[in-house]
Amino acid sequence: MLTTPYVALDMDIMEKNINTMTSGLARNGIQHWPHIKTHKSVRLAKLEQQLGASGITCAKLAEAEVMAAGGIDAILLAYPLIGEDKCRRYAELARKITVRTIVDSLPGAEGLSREAVKNGLIFDIDIAIDYGAHREGIQPDELLDFAHKVAALPGLRVNGVFTYAGTIYQYHTEQDIRRAARQEAELLINSRDRLNANGFEITNLSGGSTLSSWYAEELQGITESRAGNFIFGDMNAINGGIYTAENCALTICATVVSIPLPGYATVDAGTKSLTSDLSATPHSYGMIQEYPEIELVKLNEEHGYLRYDPQKFSLTIGEQIHIIPNHCCVVANLVDEIYAFRNGEYSETITIDARGKSF
């Protein structure tokens, strides 16, 4: 008997999610380099590769180090590497496996260049372009000048352009999401064309969120997608209209521990199981699979507050429920292990190898 709260993973649904995403991308000539920040597990990264991924994407160097130690040999590190220690660790990684990374500042490029030269290596570089979230990336009108400066540094080979269009999550209709996906692809294609018209040889066009990659035909022309969230699915994917509750593979299983008043129940999962992520809706911390009408309105660290009509529902102390989280990517990082099920039966324990590896 598993003890709550725990993270449950339906392997059948997850494998279907992987196959659907990877084959949709492949039909449109796009490689899949899934972002593993969603699961941080070597077992699941390898499964994604077995089911068609060309490599994986990591956010943090420490994640990439764990994945490489676990046997993954092709990684895109989609995060600006700043600081001598990071560049040194990156060079160590580059000696062992195939890695690529992004650059969006001269100090960042210079640090990588110094380390490449010191080690007699050539680093493949994607220039990161700001799609509009202003999180990272250079502005499109500065691209050419910046790319020339990076390419002039020894030890760096500029052969890719990169963007992350996270702003797509503000949209909830197919039409809006398709339009944003097309704009994302156009930004990369236009950037490639501009650079190649000026002597570059850009072959790698890296983009793709879960929402844009769902409509992969709109991304035609890019070479790779880094969609990550799709593997589990969550309230963000449901709100984006691409998934229903039936496509969500990951849930948090919790027990009803208290019913102080009719219509008020408390479960044993709070922010330490779900985080306080309100990205999907401003007033709900997830959907109860068994009771979609019952609301999870508030969390303390170890408590989740359920509210419901006591005329319609009668919860009982000790009853277990499954919560589809607002944002699945933050959940795996909270636990050492998740429990996998096939046909409703426990099948295996999956280790979150890169848990806490945020450095």
Q: Which residues would be at the binding site for ligand PLP (CB under 6 A)? A: 35, 78, 164, 166, 209-210, 226-230
Q: Closest distance between ligand PLP and the C-beta of residue 38, in Å?
A: 7
Least distance between ligand PLP and beta carbon 79 (Å)? 7
29, two tokens: 């000539």
Residue closer to ligand PLP by CB (options 167, 347) is 167
What phi and psi, each to the nearest 5 degrees, are found at residue 7? -95, 125
DSSP class of 140? G
Looking at the Cβ atoms of 155 and 208, the one nearer to ligand PLP is 208
Nearer to ligand PLP, 78 or 267 (CB): 78
Residue 55 or 228 having the CB closest to ligand PLP: 228
Distances (CA, A) of 172 to 180, 182, 241, 311, 323: 11, 16, 6, 33, 22
Listed in sequence order, the DSSP H helices in the chain are: 11-27, 42-50, 61-69, 84-96, 106-119, 143-151, 174-196, 210-214, 235-239, 271-274
CB of 85 to ligand PLP, least distance (A): 22
Residue 209 CB, nearest approach to ligand PLP (Å): 3
Beta-carbon contacts of residue 116 (< 8 Å; ≥ 6 apart): 91, 122, 123, 154, 155, 156
**HEC per residue, 104-117:** CCHHHHHHHHHHHH
**Cβ atoms of residues 284 and 307 within 8 Å:** no
Please say which residue, 155 or 228, places its beta carbon nearer to ligand PLP: 228
**Torsion angle (degrees, nearest 10) of CA 144, 145, 151, 152:** 150
Nearer to ligand PLP (CB atom), residue 213 or residue 266: 213
Phi/psi of residue 39, nearest 5 degrees: -120, -25
Give me the least distance between CB of 136 and ligand PLP, in Å please: 8
In whole angstroms, how close is the CB of 114 to ligand PLP at the nearest point? Answer: 25
Helix 106-119 to helix 143-151 angle (10° resolution) is 20
Choice between 35 and 192, CB closer to ligand PLP: 35
Nearest distance, CB of residue 44 and ligand PLP, angstroms: 14
**C-alpha separations of 287 from 274, 280, 283, 291 in Å:** 12, 11, 11, 8
Q: Phi, psi (5° rounding) for residue 211? A: -65, -50
Output the CA torsion sign for 151, 153, 157, 159: negative
Contact 355, 7 (CB under 8 A): no
CB of 177 to ligand PLP, least distance (A): 11
Residue number, 238 or 306, with CB nearest to ligand PLP: 238
How many beta carbons lie within 10 A of that of residue 342, not counting itself? 13
Q: Which residue is nearest to ligand PLP (CB)?
A: 209
Smallest distance from the beta carbon of 276 to ligand PLP, in angstroms?
18
Measured from the CB atom, is 209 or 251 closer to ligand PLP?
A: 209
